[in-house]
Structure 1
Amino acid sequence: MTEHNTANPDSLQHYVTAYLNHLMIERGLSENTLAAYRRDLHRYLQYLAQERVGYVAAITPHHVAGFLQALSSGSHNMGQLAQSSVNRIFIAARGWHRFLFLENTTPTNPAAEIKPPKTGQQLPAGLSIDEVTRLLDTPPIDTAQGLRDRAMMELLYATGARITEAIDLDVDDVVHLDDNADITVVRLFGKGSKERIVPLGSYAQAAIDAYLIRGRPEHAAGGKGSPALFLNRFGGRLSRQTGWNVLKQAAKDAEITKEISPHTLRHSFATHLLQGGADVRVVQELLGHASVTTTQIYTQVTADTLREVFAYAHPRAHG
């Protein structure tokens, strides 16, 4: 079966019906199971209609990932679903795409590389905006170490960098894009040495500039000319463990009782961007995730927050 020799080739429903017939005839599924597949695939067609996708060849991994995000977050009128329901519906959509590919209806399978998060996956811990502010304001700015620690933490929160990526930065990886230094970006090297460019906000840029002018020279004086951005007091590259200890000490000084890990500011970066309305695919690029599925766990964090606010604030949230 190909898209060019069947009736109504541009009808998504036509290909859903063909898949359901395959499940009934070739796999012998019960009517109840077929009804469940029909309902789940109807949700997918509703989503694709909202995305203005009218034929199967136009469906891309972008659309498949977006559907999974919509199921997880409740956007696109999908409603709030349990993770088990999200997985079931997505499996139906993924099975449909596999069928279309194996039947040579589509040249590729856009769902092949996209997988739902595991049921029961633990949501990442993060800090509130107030807690982040307290944390970042903790290091003193009258010592070389304090300037370094503040610059490092500002960079972690501004870019969502992994702590190893921050420690591995060289001074030359902080790049001013024009002569006025109004726009500054950081070249980060993630897993597999994959490079990504992430912009710096004004707070992080100011903290790094202050460190480079008044803090780093003092540490560099005791070393042998390391190109590293963040130096220890002997002039060598700061270690990951020391970077982690900086975070833990700052949290203690800021009287933050939540458990702090090397990923705490990275998690907070992603959550706060999504809460502010950023698209999940933009956050994926900033974080350096290979798949948007990895990023989508943060959409659940923001959905939980919305439910909590609604339950507390809406006058008719409770009977």
Structure 2
Amino acid sequence: MNELIQIGPISPLRQRLIDDMTMRRFSKETQRNYLRDVGRFATWLGRSPHTASAEDVRQFQIEQQQAGVPAPTMNSIVGALRFFFTHTLDRPDLARKLVRTRQVRKIPVVLTMAEVKRLLDATRSLKHQAALSVAYGAGLRVAEVSALKVSDVDSKRMLLRIERGKGGRYRNAMLPEGLLLLLRDWWRAGRQQGILVPDGWLFPGQSAAAPISTRQLYRVVVEAAEAADIDKRVGPHTLRHSFATHLLEDGVDIRVIQALLGHAKLNTTAFYTQVATKTVRSVVSPLDRLALASPSEEAPDG
């Protein structure tokens, strides 16, 4: 019997996994993804995953690869199973049998500043414009935008408090003056509509009791891009990519950008150097310097 598939009461094993994630302050989205991915393994296994063997783990990975499961999906499953085997089952021996799939990282799509403005202007409501402006103006992940509360806006220090970013990490994000003014406009409008309260969500969903979903924010971005005649493949993360790239092109130190994005590793942030075309264009090639050199100049030895 698959104890990770919720049918009726929550099984003890599923509850233990939930407790382990909650104790480590995993976000609701991360918990949902881990439950889904561990459940996928349990369904394949056909019995409780606490009975899994090293050979079961090996065969599961082989069959998933043969089935054409994309590398990002497989790595997500590996991360969930590693946590499950290590912390919930106390079976680190099984966790060591899991192999991450090598993944070629694609160069992200980045909008020009003019395209970002067109996209924001093309939104259908003040709430949507404010939410997308937060994604771009502060460089937040879509889940971080969704999870913002009114109390996370610190206008005195001009910061946005991100209570649970990726991996459960806390950080402060920047709050530009223009974004603060827009959020104040949204606050007044939301109060008049009766959907914004001091301790509530900054961007409520269909009801004030729940935040706007990441799926809804994705639809908002896609619809705004279409309305703005932007033919690039655009999603909420495109605004975060654009934020980082535009800062890099403006000469902001890459370690500052790393802190603003909440990246654990600098090489993750450094990837944006590949798309910072303005930075590349500003570099003078040695070939061009040859044309400027005096004919009498000689190149130094070595």
Query: Normalising by structure 1, what TM-score?
Result: 0.53
1: distance between equivalents of 2:281 and 2:155? 41
2:148 to 164, 169, 172: 169
Corresponding residue for residue 194 of structure 1: 169
- SS of aligned partner of 2:236: coil
Corresponding residue for residue 106 of structure 2: 122
> Relative to structure 1, is the Cα distance of residues 304 and 154 closer, same or farther in structure 2, using a 3 angstrom cutoff?
closer
The correspondence of residues 94-113 of structure 1 with structure 2, limited to 5 A, is none
- SS of aligned partner of 2:276: helix
Task: Give the conservation status (yes or no) of the 8 Å contact 1:154–1:203.
Answer: no
> Relative to structure 1, is the Cα distance of residues 215 and 122 closer, same or farther in structure 2, using a 3 angstrom cutoff?
same
Unaligned stretches of 5+ residues in structure 1? 1-117, 141-145, 178-182
1:249 to 195, 218, 223: 223
2: distance between equivalents of 1:120 and 1:315? 35
Corresponding residue for residue 300 of structure 1: 274
Say whether residues 1:215 and 2:190 are aligned partners.
yes
Q: Which amino acid aligns with 1:121?
A: R
- How far apart are residue 266 of structure 1 and its match? 0.3
- SS of aligned partner of 1:230: coil
- SS of aligned partner of 1:220: coil
Task: Give the conservation status (yes or no) of the 8 Å contact 1:148–1:230.
Answer: yes
- How far apart are residue 288 of structure 1 and its match? 0.3
Corresponding residue for residue 207 of structure 2: 234
- How far apart are residue 272 of structure 1 and its match? 0.2
Say whether residues 1:273 and 2:247 are aligned partners.
yes
Q: Which amino acid aligns with 2:167?
A: G
Corresponding residue for residue 135 of structure 1: 119
CA deviation map 1:3-49 (0-9, x unaligned): xxxxxxxxxxxxxxxxxxxxxxxxxxxxxxxxxxxxxxxxxxxxxxx
- How far apart are residue 315 of structure 1 and its match? 11
2: distance between equivalents of 1:220 and 1:230? 9
Say whether residues 1:203 and 2:178 are aligned partners.
yes
Task: Give the conservation status (yes or no) of the 8 Å contact 1:196–1:288.
Answer: yes
Query: Normalising by structure 2, what TM-score?
Result: 0.56
> Relative to structure 1, is the Cα distance of residues 287 and 170 closer, same or farther in structure 2, using a 3 angstrom cutoff?
same
2: distance between equivalents of 1:285 and 1:137? 29
Corresponding residue for residue 294 of structure 2: none
What percent of counterpart residues are identical? Answer: 37
> Relative to structure 1, is the Cα distance of residues 308 and 124 closer, same or farther in structure 2, using a 3 angstrom cutoff?
farther
- How far apart are residue 129 of structure 1 and its match? 0.7
2: distance between equivalents of 1:128 and 1:193? 31
1: distance between equivalents of 2:278 and 2:290? 18
1: distance between equivalents of 2:189 and 2:220? 19
CA deviation map 1:272-300 (0-9, x unaligned): 00000011110000000001011010012
> Relative to structure 1, is the Cα distance of residues 174 and 164 closer, same or farther in structure 2, using a 3 angstrom cutoff?
same
Task: Give the conservation status (yes or no) of the 8 Å contact 1:219–1:232.
Answer: no
Task: Give the conservation status (yes or no) of the 8 Å contact 2:121–2:129.
Answer: yes
- SS of aligned partner of 1:296: helix
> Relative to structure 1, is the Cα distance of residues 119 and 192 closer, same or farther in structure 2, using a 3 angstrom cutoff?
closer
Aligned length: 186
1: distance between equivalents of 2:242 and 2:192? 31
2:262 to 271, 285, 288: 288
Q: Which amino acid aligns with 2:207?
A: F
Task: Give the conservation status (yes or no) of the 8 Å contact 2:255–2:266.
Answer: yes
Task: Give the conservation status (yes or no) of the 8 Å contact 1:158–1:204.
Answer: yes
